[in-house]
Copies of this chain bind each other. A is one copy, B any other.
Amino acid sequence: MPDRPATLRDVAAAARVHPATASRALNPETRLLVSEETAKRVSAAAAKLGYRPNPVARSLRTRRSYSVGVLIPDLNNPLFPPIVRGLEDKLAAAGYVALIGNTDADPNRERLLFEQMRARHVDGFVLATATLHDRMLAGAAAGDLPLVLMNRLSQDYSFPSVSVDNEQGSRMAVTHLAGLGHARIAHIAGPQEASTGVSRLRGFRDGMTQHGLAVDESLVVYATRYTVDEGTRCCRELLARGGSFTAIAAANDMLAVGCYAAFEEVGLECPDGVSLVGFNDMPFIDRLRPPLTTVRFPHYQLGTEAAQLLLERIGGAEGPVKVLYLAPELIVRGSTTAPALLPAPAANDC
């Protein structure tokens, strides 16, 4: 109680037992090994002294740090804070803390952070940064460190994962646009190293086919990153190509925000001149000009589910690897409407 925080020995001394006994009495798992009476005495002493076990000493002995590494591309992307909160809240409830690392989509940085966290003896990892053919995952797969993928999946390795059903979400976006009467729909695809980019593109193609619409390859542009600037660049390119389109399905909301900027540059009105659909329903996207129609999934829950999977793995669960898909939901807002009655004739194509 004075300056030095109480240690287990202090508690043991106060309860007139051996430190080992005190340890067992205070640990729920071993409390059975100690008589009811001594256990109470020890607990009382611990409470009186305000004893807090030293997690560092415990970690040293048990080889468990009760911390996990979380790698995300960038905390500044509004999609991630709610996911991270889900993770942290769930982990905290189990006594774990999360170490957050921002990779900025740089594989070297990712590797570095991974190693640093490993050096800190984290008990597991949650990665939101996986690429389809991830060299880093190759190493991780060999190790016995629990690892869970979130949002993005890997193709080459099988890890427990949580993500939204991207194909389905993308199809829903197309269906919505087709239902409004759009036929010439452009797609700004995400990075094709990421599963989200590939799946959403596949869903896009799939949806078009389902509705008997042709995919004009000149109306598909590929973003190299999920950023506003890339969205602007891709949208500019679409506009420059001159192929007439009445709607854009963007692979995520950041890209869609970039489209708004490109529209503004050329005085194109949304949704009157062009409809736009995003993906993610990230925070504040409903307050843009106009509010963005997009595909929603439960961000917070993505985090909690990922944490859950990781905790199971850390807890020693063997069994088959779980891969969880969350259902997407289309949120219709002001950025989509029926195309103008007379779409400009596609001069280039005939």
Contacts and interface: CB of A to CB of B under 8 A. Distances in A.
Q: How many chain copies does the complex carry?
A: 2
A60 B61 CA distance: 11
A97 interface: yes
A144 to B, nearest CB: 9
Nearest to A287: B288
A126 interface: no
Interface of A: 52-57, 59-60, 65, 74-76, 78, 80-82, 84-85, 88, 97-100, 102, 119-121, 257, 260, 283-284, 287-290
Contact of A65 (B56, B78, B284): B56
B60 A57 contact: yes
A146 B284 CA distance: 36
Contact of A287 (B59, B82, B100, B257): B257
B76 A283 contact: yes
A56 B119 CA distance: 9
B54 A121 contact: yes
A283 B81 CA distance: 13
Contact of A98 (B53, B100, B121): B100
Contacts of A284: 78, 257, 284
